């Protein structure tokens, strides 16, 4: 019985080898990649430094408005219908919120999206 399964495996391997030999061969030639400087690497239309600067500004505005309006993390996350961990990421400049969340944040913080992102 063991010998039979070994024969089956050998035949199966031989069949796969034949199929692979008939398959077209694609050769990937390496392209010249220029080194990336993290300070000038572009993200969309902004460099990483500019993107982080925008994220930092938004985070500061969220923190200031939360303090000004005496809004807790729990209250803001409930008003935006998102997890407290997400609000924490925005407030601490670890993540930039998408458009829908920006609208909810602006409404909950009694301001405009334009004010948040300027």
Sort 10 into a burial class: Cβ within 10 Å, 0-12 / 13-18 / 19+: exposed
Q: Mean pLDDT for each 10-residue chunk of the chain (118 residues)?
A: 57 56 50 44 67 93 96 96 96 93 95 93
pLDDT of residue 73: 95
The fold for domain 44-109 equals 434 Repressor (Amino-terminal Domain) (1.10.260)
- Report domain extents, the chain: 44-109
pLDDT of residue 62: 96
Model pTM score:
0.61
């Amino acid at each position: 019985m063991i010998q039979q399964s070994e024969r089956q495996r050998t035949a199966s391997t031989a069949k796969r080898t034949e199929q692979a030999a008939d398959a077209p061969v694609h050769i990937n030639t390496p392209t010249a990649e220029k080194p990336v400087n993290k300070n000038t690497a572009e993200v969309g239309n902004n460099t990483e430094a500019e993107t982080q600067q925008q994220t930092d500004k938004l985070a500061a505005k969220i923190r200031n408005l939360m303090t000004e309006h005496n809004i807790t993390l729990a209250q803001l996350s409930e008003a935006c219908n998102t997890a407290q961990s997400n609000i924490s990421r925005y407030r601490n400049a670890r993540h930039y919120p998408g458009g829908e969340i920006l609208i909810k944040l602006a409404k909950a913080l009694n301001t405009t999206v334009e004010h948040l992102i300027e």
